[in-house]
Structure 1
């Protein structure tokens, strides 16, 4: 890994980061920078939405390949890529970190399929989730695994509680500004995994017609106080509980992708 180029990719001056002397505040700074610089997107799976003859290049769970895609080509990715790469960066910087398999919870309250999300756990005085690979809402800062509630710069509160399921030990929840009830985000068990552990689910998510990643293009990134999301024909802005939309014409789509998300992804 070229750690300096990676740090520059997320807008962090490499001279401000000292490998082997990384504290929790530094990890928080890197996480916040990452989610604002590297989009969560599925374009490697769906390809160019305005060229039916062009397929996506596919997702390859190889750290060298992901590094070339995200750092050198300055593209984005989804959880297995983004958290896989960020976990590698933290390890190279001397942080005590390991990969964890999780299950994003659907609208029906179930988490399936197994290992449909990759996140990271770091250890300082206690353990923290560090996640840069989610869509909306994005986790922007380390989250203690001991139940402490933290609120991010977008006003979203996060916590980890014990799971009441026999197959997972923890449940990550969030609460948007002004809401009283907690929403379930993902289940996980704090067991270290290799990146190869996620290969079967990654193959499923990038090929199955029922996968949320094989349909329409989705690109999102965190802003200072919210999120912005690009779909096939709409740009959506989220600020707190406010949501606004504006139409995006086909001929403008790639320009919006480049201007708002920094992605040069035209394949035709």
Structure 2
């Protein structure tokens, strides 16, 4: 990544260039990223294809000041971390549904960062995942603002990630190139069975909770208290994207499939 783009990315997330690639700076970068770059699938409903090219993804986050879903956010953030000297690799994961059944492999992307100890880094899961990096080699409880996480090594070397006892995803031990995620990224954008075509969401962590715009429903959680209201017109929706997420749109995304869901 070009030096000027690294600087622009750090400015985008409100971070200083770390003096060294260590656990403390990794933690700070992840928190700042999660609180400035929203998890969103707006391009799916704007008819704009998501292309898994690292430079294009960084441009979307930095220049266009947009967010994205897992492949976009973690690929872009991983590109930044690598430019800052962090040893980072991409890993696929199978996400567990609410019924406890794991989905297909590579349906999610997360990052592994190898410092003196290995870390799981994920800025692209959305609601219900850790705000801070998780120790990949720790097997006890890892308390976080978003819950108590635990990582369990499975017989094949994969790692099961749970939050408050609920399985979140099964992380592959092998590293993957970005191109390995292209088929599932395409399916995510195009299949009527994908939750990303069935729902329209933009969500971001805040200092005291989370703000989410799901379709026309604006939900703000502050210190555990949930407030929801329905937006009444396109102008109000566009203003909400700009005010709460820093996203300037010319048109309201068209939710083509299904109805809004909770994230």
Secondary structure of the residue that 2:238 maps to in structure 1?
Answer: helix
Instruction: Provide, for residues 121-156 of structure 1, a one-character-per-residue CA deviation record: whole Å limited to 9, x for no partner.
Output: 11122211011111102421110112242223x352
- 1:21-60 to structure 2, matched below 5 A, reads 21-47=20-46, 56-60=47-51
Residue 149 (structure 1) aligns with: 141
Secondary structure of the residue that 1:266 maps to in structure 2?
Answer: coil
- Distance in 2 (CA, whole Å) between partners of 1:134 and 1:220 is 11
* Partner of residue 15 from structure 2, selected from 12, 23, 40: 12
- Distance in 2 (CA, whole Å) between partners of 1:239 and 1:29 is 22
Instruction: Provide, for residues 140-184 of structure 1, a one-character-per-residue CA deviation record: whole Å limited to 9, x for no partner.
Output: 1110112242223x35222211347x6x72111112xxxxxx111
**TM-fit CA distance, 1:227:** 1.4
Secondary structure of the residue that 1:37 maps to in structure 2?
Answer: coil
TM-score using structure 1 length: 0.87
Q: Is the 8 A contact 1:46 1:215 kept in 2?
A: no
Specify every segment of 5 or more residues in structure 1 that has no aligned partner in the other structure, as ranges. Answer: 48-55, 176-181
Question: Alpha carbon RMSD of aligned pairs, Å?
Answer: 1.7
* Partner of residue 259 from structure 1, selected from 221, 232, 243: 243
**TM-fit CA distance, 1:243:** 2.8
- Distance in 2 (CA, whole Å) between partners of 1:240 and 1:133 is 22
Distance 1:155 1:82, change over 3 A: closer
* Partner of residue 217 from structure 1, selected from 193, 200, 225: 200
Runs of at least 4 residues off by over 3 Å? 239-242
Instruction: Provide, for residues 28-76 of structure 1, a one-character-per-residue CA deviation record: whole Å limited to 9, x for no partner.
Output: 00000000000000001112xxxxxxxx211110011111111101001
TM-score using structure 2 length: 0.88
Residue 130 (structure 1) aligns with: 121
- Distance in 2 (CA, whole Å) between partners of 1:267 and 1:155 is 33
Distance 1:256 1:239, change over 3 A: same
Deviates more, 1:26-35 or 1:136-145: 136-145
Secondary structure of the residue that 1:191 maps to in structure 2?
Answer: coil
Secondary structure of the residue that 1:81 maps to in structure 2?
Answer: helix
- Distance in 2 (CA, whole Å) between partners of 1:211 and 1:231 is 16
Q: Is the 8 A contact 2:93 2:171 kept in 1?
A: yes
Aligned length: 247
- Distance in 2 (CA, whole Å) between partners of 1:204 and 1:30 is 30
Q: Is the 8 A contact 1:218 1:232 kept in 2?
A: yes
Secondary structure of the residue that 1:260 maps to in structure 2?
Answer: helix
- Distance in 2 (CA, whole Å) between partners of 1:86 and 1:155 is 20
- 1:227 and 2:200 correspond: no
Residue 178 (structure 1) aligns with: none
* Partner of residue 153 from structure 2, selected from 162, 186, 209: 162
- Distance in 2 (CA, whole Å) between partners of 1:250 and 1:115 is 37
Q: Is the 8 A contact 1:96 1:124 kept in 2?
A: yes
